[in-house]
Chains A and B, each alone.
Chain A
Amino acid sequence: MKILIVDDSKVTRKFIGRCIRQAGLGAHDIEEAENGLEALKRVAELAPDLVVTDWNMPHMTGIDFLHQLRSSGSQVNVGFITSEGTDVMRHQAKEGGARFFITKPFTPESVRDALQQVLP
């Protein structure tokens, strides 16, 4: 499975990647992008099975990234791991087709639980 992690924080991308590897759900190719613009290109190149994205990033918010992904025709699974978790944002994410919404701080267990819902 290919998983693309989108977050402007390198230490957070590293931690999410570690959580995914520790989840024990099989081997995954983990790729990274540091903002939504880069992620749009990476999705086109890689055709990942899952995109895990932050919300508050330079150039483009996570929800704008999700909307642009869908506008481009991509139906890739998308989930949020973000520092902001208001009800409005959760609703926007769900409306946009996000499969999960995790707020920071988060644990490897919360990532594993989310992945179990999404990955076959």
Chain B
Amino acid sequence: MSFPSAPEWIEALEAAATEVVSHGGGSDLPEFEAGDAAAPGGGAFISLMGPGHSVRLGVVGSTPALKRLAAMLTQEEPADDELKDATCELANVLAGNVRKLLSARVPELTLGLPVYSTQAPALERYQVARSALKLPDLSAELWVMMPKAAVG
């Protein structure tokens, strides 16, 4: 089977984010729209490696947005000094759920370790797809970064 396309990765990432938000117990489920060109803040990125291909998934947002999303995992907002750790765990959970969603399509996927960044990574070598996650008073972005050589 072929490696999933960027829109397919985004679709799986949106489904994983919806699972996290619904797990968080709020009454609202997220809506998604095309992401903005400007990076809205820091975030965490994690690689998924398959045979001959790889993709990086990210969750990016303002500090309050990332704290609220992370709190949906752990039922309490992380402290300032826990933001990096909590955001990396959020990326890890999203990627783990994406992996499960796509495991029939790409069974050999393996997860890397999440990395937090206060700035957008260099994007020249990537095709980037973004989805803006919208909840009341919360906006964050889900990123899919595919090496251009792999996009073909």
Contact = CB atoms under 8 A, between A and B. Distances in A.
B96 interface: yes
A12 B18 CA distance: 20
Q: Is the interface of B mostly helix, strand, loop or mixed?
A: helix
Given A15-B74, A58-B113, A82-B96, A107 B23 contact: yes
Q: Is the interface of A mostly helix, strand, loop or mixed?
A: loop
A57 B89 CA distance: 11
Interface string A58-78: 100000000000000000000
Contacts of B107: 86, 88
In which size bucket is the chain B interface?
Answer: 20 to 34
A84 B113 contact: no
Contacts, number: 65
Given A11-B82, A56-B92, A56-B96, A105 B19 contact: yes
B100 interface: yes
Nearest to B89: A9
Contacts of A14: 74
A56 B92 CA distance: 9
Interface residues of A, number: 22
B97 A83 contact: yes
A16 to B, nearest CB: 9
A64 to B, nearest CB: 13
Interface string A8-36: 11111011000000000000000000000
Contacts of B24: 105
Nearest to A8: B113
Interface string A85-106: 1111000000000000001110
B85 A11 contact: yes
Contacts of A56: 92, 96, 111, 113
A109 to B, nearest CB: 12
Interface of A: 8-12, 14-15, 56-58, 82-88, 103-105, 107-108
5 smallest CB-CB distances across A and B, nearest first, come from A83-B96, A105-B23, A15-B74, A84-B96, A9-B89
